[in-house]
Amino acid sequence: MAKKNAFYAQSGGVTAVINASACAVIETARKHKDKIGKVYAGRNGIIGALTEDLIDTGKDSAKAIAALRNTPSGAFGSCRFKLKGLEENKLQYERLIEVFKAHNIGYFFYNGGGDSADTCLKVSQISDKMGYPIQAIHIPKTVDNDLPITDCCPGFGSVAKYVAVSVREASFDVASMCKTSTKVFVVEVMGRHAGWIAAAGGLASDKGCELPIVILFPEIAFNKEKFLAQVDATVKKHGYCSVVVSEGVKGEDGKFLSDQGLRDAFGHAQLGGVAPVVANMVKDALGYKFHWAVADYLQRAARHIASKTDVEQAYALGKSAVELALKGENAIMPAIVRVSEKPYKWKIGVAQLKNVANVEKMMPRDFISKDGFGITEKCRTYLAPLIKGEDYPPYKDGLPQYVRLKNVAVPKKLGEFKI
Amino acid sequence: MAKKNAFYAQSGGVTAVINASACAVIETARKHKDKIGKVYAGRNGIIGALTEDLIDTGKDSAKAIAALRNTPSGAFGSCRFKLKGLEENKLQYERLIEVFKAHNIGYFFYNGGGDSADTCLKVSQISDKMGYPIQAIHIPKTVDNDLPITDCCPGFGSVAKYVAVSVREASFDVASMCKTSTKVFVVEVMGRHAGWIAAAGGLASDKGCELPIVILFPEIAFNKEKFLAQVDATVKKHGYCSVVVSEGVKGEDGKFLSDQGLRDAFGHAQLGGVAPVVANMVKDALGYKFHWAVADYLQRAARHIASKTDVEQAYALGKSAVELALKGENAIMPAIVRVSEKPYKWKIGVAQLKNVANVEKMMPRDFISKDGFGITEKCRTYLAPLIKGEDYPPYKDGLPQYVRLKNVAVPKKLGEFKI
């Protein structure tokens, strides 16, 4: 029984390009039918493996699988479900192996961020311990861009492009209105821990198109006086100002700025974003008319403005994951290696999962300008190639055509398992 | 002195395509140099005319003017400044004529919404009264789509496309996450008085791609119990739900839902959007995990995802405005006439300004489904062609290339005027 099946699952927050990696895994596996049998996907991520809720990707046509490359979100469903330590969650890890065994699965492809890299590593360890051979390969994905070793993370480049394009467009808008109306525009972007996405707002302004942008990074403790002074000076100089604020910005007390205790008329606590908090500060202290936006899921789902570089890298990593598995690799993650800056060239390298799991890559301090409100040339050099190129999905009647797979279930062979 | 100059100004909130109309006005005037001298633009809209702050568009190259077609925002600056009644604001109307006279301006092209249609009409009346001939032509523009007579308003189609695309993308995202995480996604869109933009969210779901979407229109008084029941039923049936909420939604008491008295920790009033209000209701009553977004300026500035139909109509209306002026027309507005539905065909007609000014076109009740939470087939038939076609701007290094004109000032001839 040399020919093993493969299992693929998506983990955590989905992106505009995670399905491009899925597309690559399935297409590449289909090219190696002599070595890889079926590709099963976990319905709703690793939960699908634990509950033996597997999807037979073989039931979908080549055309449908190819369309995954252009489709945002997670085609098989993702989940927020963290498997902890091997001892702590022993039953669950054993269950995974049991399910893999029952379905003759020898390849485990896990597409996610830091937590899933950790899970992936543990699956390879438990398989070793239990004597059932599993090659566990992690495929990086996270809009947060916080995985170590890999030069960047699929999903990030497209969010970065969305943010850069949107900030440029909104800045043009405010510039038109500022004489008699809005002078300050605040947009909130993702990034609870690291300011990579906020930094991308800085790309909106470049030599050919300078724009007055103030960025608030989670890496820089928020100082209200300095911030207001910066906005005021910017408006006085340029007539207007765009503010890009990371959802993860914290005050000097270490508390999230968004958790500033909004209450409704009855005194009930309300969950708000950080954009309205910052906008209200500007209004109260400076009196400028403002507008604010919160991009939220729109930014990470925006396949319509995906970065071509990002799509290509997401695909290449999925393809490489399968090829590495066929070479016998285990407990590794294919990673992006930046080969050269100008012109931008990249290739796929290999990272050991033990060096990836539980390590967060923060923005280097020298990527943030001295005053804490902008990006440096070094940061720009790093970010610029990641948003390069457009990769439009097909349209029909004005709307992007995204695929929905059949997601046919594989008949179960085991008893129920409660998670 | 038969050859007169033209004056062009942008008014109110800018859009992704108002510059396409500007492009058409200037390009068409340049083709008729025998009849139209210079095209002057008002810096920051009508304020530029009142303060004699005119821009000589002749100083910009054909290439720069052509690039306006792809550039969002208002290239000459817009303003929120309403000229009221002729008697009430007599000095200002007289000043306009004085400035036009000083600069030999015989054509007044005013690009805006309802208020500017009214101003445009009054300019033609005062010119008559004062014996200085001005042909006043209004060019429609408003994302709100609320002008009468014209089948649709330039700017709206592109916002509608942005909203339809974004809601489709975010719905795919939520569908992937709903098993263990977000089940309800709320996005707030523009439309203080009319629900046209919110309705466009309904286009995200169509026969080829059905999605569970609940729309909150300003035309339908908000009923909390009914809304929560609708969301709950939708989540129970589909696993998740997207909510598109118009900023203009009001409760049964007639008050804006967004004005529900948010206070900060110190009891200060905070300006919030309606999306967090609705999202918090869902959390409190149903306990579903949620995310929310506020598109704000991003939606109306999103030239990167503009509707081709919209761009073409914006251009055609600007071109037609000049051609109608050359035919001697006055106090009119070129308008979109829908010639046929399938295939969608349109042409330019002519509306009398007296029939346009101060009339708001609301969504017909039969465009909204009986339960008040969706759009009808009739509405879909109306909206669908308006988002058709893509019209991508040029890109360089991953960013759209938007033009900024020189905006060279015309030497002043008159004394100062305080507004």
Q: Which of B176, B297, B298 sits opposite A73 (nearest CB)?
A: B176
pLDDT grade, residue A354 (50/70/90)? very high
pLDDT score of B269: 62
- Whether residues A75 and B176 touch (CB distance < 8 A) is answered with yes
- The sign of the CA dihedral B62, B65, B69, B72 is positive
Catalytic one of A118, A144, A146, A151: A144
Do A4-141+303-359+390-400 and A156-301 show the same overall fold?
yes
Q: Which of A268, A301, A309 sits opposite B173 (nearest CB)?
A: A301
Q: Which of A75, A79, A303 sits opposite B169 (nearest CB)?
A: A303
Residues in chain B with CB shorter than 8 Å from the CB of A22 are: none
pLDDT grade, residue A419 (50/70/90)? confident
pLDDT score of A100: 98
| Chain B: residue whose CA lies nearest to A9 | B176
Residue A271 has pLDDT above 80, yes or no: no
**A288-314: pLDDT as tens digits:** 999 999 999 999 999 999 999 999 999
A168: left (phi over 0), alpha (psi -120 to 50) or beta: alpha
Measured between alpha carbons, how far is residue B38 from residues B75, B95, B316, B327 in Å? 17, 20, 21, 18
Our CA-based measurement puts residue B293 at a distance from the nearest CA of chain A, in whole angstroms, of 5
CATH architecture, range A4-141+303-359+390-400 = 3-Layer(aba) Sandwich (3.40)
Sequence-ordered strand ranges (E) for B194-287: 213-216, 241-246, 262-263, 269-270
| A34 has catalytic annotation | no
Residue A115 has pLDDT above 60, yes or no: yes
pLDDT score of A264: 61
SS3 call for A302: coil
Q: Which helix (H) or strand (E) element contains residue B317?
A: helix B308-326
Radius of gyration of chain B (CA): 23
**ipTM for the whole complex:** 0.97
pLDDT score of A277: 92
% of chain A exceeding 90 in pLDDT: 90
Q: How would you class B119 by CB atoms within 10 Å of its CB: exposed for 0-12, middle for 13-18, buried for 19 or more?
A: buried
Measured between alpha carbons, how far is residue A317 from residues A4, A197, A350 in Å? 21, 21, 10
CATH fold of B156-301 reads Rossmann fold (3.40.50)
Q: Which of A161, A164, A296 sits opposite B291 (nearest CB)?
A: A296
**A212-255: pLDDT as tens digits:** 999 999 999 999 999 999 999 999 999 999 999 999 999 999 99
Q: Mean pLDDT, chain A, as a whole number?
A: 95
Interface probe with B: pick from A399, A403, A404, most Cβ of B within 10 Å: A399
Interface probe with A: pick from B18, B141, B173, B283, most Cβ of A within 10 Å: B173
- Whether residues B279 and A268 touch (CB distance < 8 A) is answered with no
Measured between alpha carbons, how far is residue A334 from residues A72, A126, A307 in Å? 21, 21, 20
Domain ranges for chain A = 4-141+303-359+390-400, 156-301
Q: How many residue contacts between A and B have a Cβ separation below 8 Å?
A: 269
- Rounded CA-CA distance A281/A287 in Å is 9
User: Any idea which residue has 């190696």 for tokens?
Assistant: A32
- Whether residues A72 and B173 touch (CB distance < 8 A) is answered with yes
Residues in chain A with CB shorter than 8 Å from the CB of B294 are: 273, 275, 292-294
Residues in chain A with CB shorter than 8 Å from the CB of B304 are: 165, 169, 305
Q: How would you class B377 by CB atoms within 10 Å of its CB: exposed for 0-12, middle for 13-18, buried for 19 or more?
A: exposed
Sheet holding B54-56, edge to edge: B54-56, B36-42, B4-10, B105-112, B135-140, B332-340, B345-352
In 3D space, the residue among B176, B196, B316, B194 whose CA is nearest the CA of residue B248 turns out to be B194
- Whether residues A397 and B404 touch (CB distance < 8 A) is answered with no
pTM beyond cutoff 0.90? yes
Pick the CATH number of B4-142+306-358+390-400 from 3.40.50.2300, 3.40.50.450, 3.30.499.10, 3.90.550.10: 3.40.50.450
Our CA-based measurement puts residue A306 at a distance from the nearest CA of chain B, in whole angstroms, of 10
pLDDT score of A303: 98
pLDDT score of A84: 82
- Whether residues A265 and B265 touch (CB distance < 8 A) is answered with no
User: Any idea which residue has 């998740």 for tokens?
Assistant: B240
- Whether residues A399 and B168 touch (CB distance < 8 A) is answered with yes
Structure tokens at A234: 């910017």
Residues in chain B with CB shorter than 8 Å from the CB of A265 are: 260-261, 263
pLDDT score of B82: 86
- Whether residues A47 and B161 touch (CB distance < 8 A) is answered with no
**A21-73: pLDDT as tens digits:** 999 999 999 999 999 999 999 999 999 999 999 999 999 999 999 999 999 99
SS3 call for A201: helix
Interface probe with B: pick from A166, A294, A401, most Cβ of B within 10 Å: A294
Measured between alpha carbons, how far is residue B206 from residues B157, B216, B299 in Å? 17, 18, 21
Residue A265 has pLDDT above 70, yes or no: no
Radius of gyration of chain A (CA): 23
The low-confidence residues of chain B, meaning pLDDT below 70, are: 1, 261-271
- Whether residues B177 and A276 touch (CB distance < 8 A) is answered with no
Q: Which of A74, A261, A399 sits opposite B265 (nearest CB)?
A: A261
- Whether residues A78 and B204 touch (CB distance < 8 A) is answered with no
Structure tokens at A40: 């099963």
Residues in chain A with CB shorter than 8 Å from the CB of B305 are: 304-305
- Whether residues B293 and A296 touch (CB distance < 8 A) is answered with yes
3-state secondary structure labels for all residues of A128-143: HHHCCCCEEEEEECCC
pLDDT score of B120: 95
B82: amino acid identity, one letter = K
Residue A211 has pLDDT above 70, yes or no: yes
